[in-house]
Amino acid sequence: MELATLGEGQVYEFVPPKPVPPCFIISPGSPYVSQGQAFTDFTTNFEVVILAGSATNETETDKLDELITNAIDALETWFIDEVETPTTFDINNNLFLGAKLRITADKTL
């Protein structure tokens, strides 16, 4: 996925036990795969959680905004369905400031 080209943090393809921000955590969306317009067309859905840091102060908020903007630019071949409101994510009892992107891509067999 194009997020690795950003150079702004680790890209995880699973939820790590203890993520190190800034980072991007990619997971399947719901539905993961759905039928497209034709028999050989389908749509894949993913969620990308962007974590800026463990604080909720202005610095981390500014960093999150920058990470979101850069991720949207890097994902130019994907459809950005939405960016959820920034919030605190609890991952294995560690709190992080972050936001969730929902992305899709249309594919043909």
Question: Backbone phi, then psi, for 72, in 5-degree steps?
Answer: -60, -40
Contacts of 87-91 with C-beta under 8 Å, sequence gap 24+, read 88/56, 89/49, 89/51, 91/15, 91/16, 91/18, 91/19, 91/51
Domain ranges of the chain: 2-108
Question: Backbone phi, then psi, for 48, in 5-degree steps?
Answer: -120, 115
What is the structure's pLDDT at 18? 87
Distance between CA atoms of 75 and 82, rounded to whole angstroms? 13
Options 1.10.150, 1.10.10, 3.30.70, 3.10.350; CATH for 2-108 is 3.30.70
pLDDT tens-digit readout, 59-78? 888 999 999 999 999 898 89
Distance between CA atoms of 92 and 18, rounded to whole angstroms? 7
pLDDT tens-digit readout, 10-59? 999 988 988 999 999 999 999 999 998 888 999 999 999 999 987 667 78
pTM for the complete prediction?
Answer: 0.87
